[in-house]
Amino acid sequence: MTQYVSKPVNEQGFVEWTQEEDAIWHDLVTRQLALIEQSACKAYLDGLQMLDLPIERVPQLPEINQVLLRETGWQVEPVPALINFDRFFALLADRKFPVATFLRSREEFDYLQEPDFFHEIFGHCAMLTNPQFAEFTQTYGMLGKEASAKERVYLARLYWFTVEFGLVRENGQLKIYGGGILSSPGETNYALKDAKPLRESFDIHTVLRTPYRIDIMQPEYFVLDDIEQLYKLSKMDLMFHVKQAMKAGLLPPLFEPKEVTHA
């Protein structure tokens, strides 16, 4: 459950953000911009330049859509704070990226589990200007739309370890393209510099079988050779690999299970 509620969007697609929300956006963006220049992949940085996000105020959805539609035919779609898998996959299949129109509070400035406006816009939208990434994301939505509930659980791991927490090699260096990392200052540093996490070459069978938790720093990241690898993935029979992964079962988790409390 979420404590946040999306703000209403008017007929022109605009949200009435408050001065405090503008200030929170400013502080989130300026802090993260200082980190990503040396950490993000070229496709992300190029996309961020195209978006030309305002810093002093929260951007409006039509401003984002103007760039995304021009570059890849995508657009952002305002949604409630939480949506179900049916809606999520249907939107992606239609080249619409769901964006909850709420911004985190000062109390949860560093981390919150729910994907807020900053996470969705700053973390994800720059990559959606990249045609190869955009194609992969739409294909993912189309597959998820037709998948069974159990298949969707396996597909979710593919999304998690690419769109949310993916790394890529670039000129011999590790760079970030995953929005879950790029919207988190702690994880931006941790993903590239910390000695603790594993950084494995991307293997579809392993990715689909790797458990994850949403409330911890990731113990493992998967590294693409280049962003084009995502496009190649989108042209593979991904559901064949999902079925193979389901037969093989999950790999042992690299994290402690959440504590279970009994009433």
147 vs 140: CA distance, rounded Å: 10
97 neighbors 120 (Cβ within 8 angstroms): yes
> Residue 157 in contact with residue 210, Cβ under 8 Å?
yes
Q: Among the options 6, 21, 39, 119, which is catalytic?
A: 119
Q: Active-site residue 241, yes or no?
A: no
Separation between Cα atoms, residue 113 and residue 215, nearest integer Å: 7
CA atoms of 21 and 106, how far apart (whole Å): 9
Question: At a CB cut-off of 8 Å and minimum separation 6, what does 132 contact?
Answer: 43, 227, 228, 230, 231
Catalytic site residue 119? yes
- Active-site residue flag, 26: no
Given the residues 183, 220, 234, 241, the one annotated as active site: 183
Which string of DSSP letters, residue by residue, matches 1-26? --S--PPP--TTS-----HHHHHHHH
Integer Cα distance of 218 and 248 in angstroms: 23
Give me the catalytic one of 21, 77, 124, 220: 124
Q: Which of 77, 120, 164, 220 is catalytic?
A: 164
Catalytic residues: 119, 124, 164, 183
